Amino acid sequence: MPKIQSISSFLPPYSYSQDQASTLLRNLFNDHYDDLERMLKVFQNGDIESRQFCVPMEWFEHPHDLEERNRLYIELATSYGALAINACLQNQEFLNESVHPSEIDGIIFISSTGFSTPSIDARILNQLPFSDYVKRIPIWGLGCAGGASGLSRAFDYCLAYPKAKVLVLCVELCSLTFQPNDYSKSNLIGASLFADGVACALVCGDEVDIVSKKPSPTFVSTSSKIMPNSENVMGWDMKNDGLHVVFSKSIPSIIEKWLEPFVTEFLLENELTSSQLDHFIAHPGGKKVLTAYEKSLGFDTSKTEISRGILRKHGNMSSPTVLYVLEDFMKLDCHVGDKGLLTALGPGFSGELILLEWQ
């Protein structure tokens, strides 16, 4: 079965504490909330200590039109994406030998925080020595589910083409969507949670001859599911000045009720139960989301420790976040035969599950 041979993550240049972010929002929203101090507690109660952004803090203090936001998105997504690809293909922690870009057969590009035609992957191809015949599969709008969905689509591709080497590149610059004049509760919560991140994974088919330095997560099975009539749970509201976040307060309760039967059915199809999983590779959408995972699946906090660590250091970076979690798992001394469930949820409302086994 196809396997994940290498992975890398990239940290944007500006790192700020939650206290610094909270102070910024206090200054911007002070005249628009009677109970602002109570509302700002979300910054301290979310188990996030620091986040990384592609722009300095001063940038958030002023309005920016969609043209400026998107120009920055194209420029930085292209630059950061190229760096993440190089790091993945040259990652000596997982690969005995580097993989040259010309060996790559396909690129699945995932993003939801900006627009580009030609897509960002095409722009990256002009910066790195890829083949002119590489297959490009840009996917937009999956939000937080995008990293897991991208891996699943790479699995599908490599099943069809067992000699293929496919990159999954996730780039999200959530900071460029921040609206300083949007005083909604959704915007305030989003400002306390979201950050920028970039990650890249190399997925290879059965007939690819690459020697790994340690056991690699190998795909066993995948599943996708969407909840009917749930478009308003999370997503973007497009306005003249850009993207405005939509965030339902019911997300944790939806996860508790909806995720458990989805996971249980998927595991039963693979003759497993949740108690037989060695690793739980969960997208950390937020503190309450991780707690909902634990309640619905009967896990203790040890199963979400790595996800909580990524959330604490980086916040929710949307689609790349689950790849940051996977990278930490791949750095561990996992044993041959270990089984892991990778999961992420996103707009739609939808979910993606991947059953992995280390081989």
Query: Could you list the active site residues?
Result: 144
β partners of residue 203: 4, 166
Nearest to 346 by CA among 317, 321, 319: 319
> Which pair of structure tokens corresponds to residue 178?
């921040």
C-alpha 218: how far from chain center: 19
The answer to whether 95 touches 213, Cβ cutoff 8 Å, is yes
Length of the chain: 359
The answer to whether 215 touches 198, Cβ cutoff 8 Å, is no
> Which pair of structure tokens corresponds to residue 337?
């035969």
Cis amide prior to 130 (ω within 30 degrees): no
Q: What is the DSSP letter of 334?
A: P
Q: How far apart are CA 80 and CA 9, in angstroms?
A: 10
Nearest to 129 by CA among 86, 180, 160: 86
> Which pair of structure tokens corresponds to residue 252?
């944790």
Sheet containing strand 339-346, edge to edge, reads 135-140, 106-111, 165-173, 196-204, 3-10, 217-226, 350-358, 339-346, 279-282
The answer to whether 52 touches 12, Cβ cutoff 8 Å, is yes
Cβ neighbours of residue 162 closer than 8 Å, sequence gap 6 or more: 2, 205, 206, 207, 208
Residue 160: exposed, middle, or buried by beta-carbon count in 10 A (0-12, 13-18, 19+)? exposed
- Where on the phi/psi map is residue 302: left (φ > 0), alpha (ψ -120 to 50), or beta? alpha
Only one residue has tokens 């396909």, namely 106
